[in-house]
Amino acid sequence: MKSNKVVLIRHGQSIWNELNKFTGWYDATLSENGKNEAKSAAILLKKNKFSFDYAYTSVLKRAIYTLRYILDELNQNWILVKKSWCLNERHYGALEGLNKDEVIKKYGEKQVLLWRRSFNIIPPKIDIQDKRFPGNDLRYSNLNISDIPLGESLEMTSKRVIPYWKTVIYPQLKNNKKILIVAHGNSLRALIQYLNNITNKDIIKLNIPTAVPIVLEFNQNNSLIQWYYLK
């Protein structure tokens, strides 16, 4: 039985990933290693004969550039690409820009794991006077200020990712379109949790590596059958 497939990819390593910093909505560019990771992901997709009708990404350039490298390698730069803040990484609030090891030393490994991987624990928030507040960024100028996060849990991230999946992406899947989504560790975790009914307790175990294609297979009724990393 033929199945429909959606491919998810977390962006390649960014400069802040390389520096072991909490990145969140900070617009870090790809590191050299990240560029190579994106190209390797594209080569793997090409080897497995993947092609796409639509691509979706966030408004953060580490995801946008990863997608560009992939489409360039696949010679599919011409396909329709939609960008949305709904696919952004979770906002790490006051942790954004801090070194993860230093935060662990200050707060303890258990607390930091909860901030990073749990479903409903929110990291310390910033306020709107903070230079890290996204409301100062032109790309979010069309949003209501109340919709711009000061810090997010995975649960809060899900509340923007899942509606975007349901209203924008899923209808294309139902139309048998081949879809590529290049986003971030937590926006993709939110989507995988939703599609697989992963419990809030078990989601803490899921960590998505950079630039490794994840294949979601759906049956003819557009229900998820399985998901796996492409090798």
- The residues annotated as belonging to the active site are 11, 89
13 is known to lie in a ligand binding site:
yes
46 is known to lie in a ligand binding site:
no
77 is known to lie in a ligand binding site:
no
132 is known to lie in a ligand binding site:
no
33 is known to lie in a ligand binding site:
no
Q: How far does Cα 147 stand from its chain's mean position?
A: 19
117 is known to lie in a ligand binding site:
yes
68 is known to lie in a ligand binding site:
no
189 is known to lie in a ligand binding site:
no
Question: Can you give the three-state secondary structure of the chain, one letter per residue?
Answer: CCCEEEEEEECCCEHHHHCCECCCCCCCCECHHHHHHHHHHHHHHHHCCCCCCEEEECCCHHHHHHHHHHHHHHCCCCCEEEECHHHCCCCCHHHCCCEHHHHHHHHCHHHHHHHHHCCCCCCCCCCCCCCCCHHHCHHHCCCCHHHCCCCCCHHHHHHHHHHHHHHHHHHHHHCCCCEEEEECHHHHHHHHHHHHCCCCCHHHHCCCCCCCCEEEEECCCCCEEEEEECC
139 is known to lie in a ligand binding site:
no
165 is known to lie in a ligand binding site:
no
User: φ, ψ for residue 8 (rounded to 5)?
Assistant: -110, 140
135 is known to lie in a ligand binding site:
no
Q: Which residues are annotated as a binding site?
A: 10-17, 23-24, 62, 89-92, 100, 116-117, 185-186
Q: Which residues are annotated as a binding site for substrate?
A: 10-17, 23-24, 62, 89-92, 100, 116-117, 185-186
